[in-house]
């Protein structure tokens, strides 16, 4: 069975500061990894994904995540956050591509001015 652990339920940071949201996974098979973002009163939007190849993946809005197989981690980072990044972030794993995702419990990112 697969599982995902997001180590921080809440992360408060100041605007323009760097941030790291931690994610560890457990799986007995090859996995695909995802980060989704959920803004208030909205559904989930895909932020970035690791399927294969380069272990460092990047999104169009400055986030990046690195797949570390030995540490079974997929931490999300951004060098400088903006107020608009305030949201809930979910790490997810799947052994079926983008289908049937197993999500972590989420990390609430709060940006203070």
Partner 1 sequence: DAGVTQSPTHLIKTRGQQVTLRCSPKSGHDTVSWYQQALGQGPQFIFQYYEEEERQRGNFPDRFSGHQFPNYSSELNVNALLLGDSALYLCASSVFPPDLNSPLHFGNGTRLTVT
User: Does the footprint of partner 1 cover residue 17 (CB under 8 A)?
Assistant: no
The pairing of strands 87-94 and 64-68 is unpaired
Q: Please name the helix (run of DSSP H) or strand (run of DSSP E) that holds residue 2, with its range, or none.
A: none
User: Does the footprint of partner 1 cover residue 43 (CB under 8 A)?
Assistant: yes
Please report how close the Cβ of residue 17 comes to partner 1 at its closest, in angstroms: 25
Burial class (CB in 10 A: 0-12, 13-18, 19+), 67: buried
User: Does the footprint of partner 1 cover residue 45 (CB under 8 A)?
Assistant: yes
Q: Exactly one of 8, 22, 27, 44 binds partner 1 (CB under 8 A); which one?
A: 44
User: Does the footprint of partner 1 cover residue 26 (CB under 8 A)?
Assistant: no
């Amino acid at each position: 069975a697969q599982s995902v652990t997001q180590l921080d339920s809440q992360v408060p940071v100041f605007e323009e500061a760097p941030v790291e949201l931690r994610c560890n996974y457990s799986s007995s098979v090859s996995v695909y990894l995802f980060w989704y973002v959920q803004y208030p009163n909205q559904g989930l939007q895909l932020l970035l994904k690791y399927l294969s190849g380069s272990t460092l993946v990047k999104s169009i809005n400055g986030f990046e995540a690195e797949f570390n197989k030995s540490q079974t981690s997929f931490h999300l980072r951004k060098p400088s956050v903006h107020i608009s990044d305030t949201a809930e972030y979910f790490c997810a794993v799947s052994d079926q591509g983008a289908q049937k995702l197993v999500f972590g419990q989420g990390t609430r990112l709060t940006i203070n001015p």
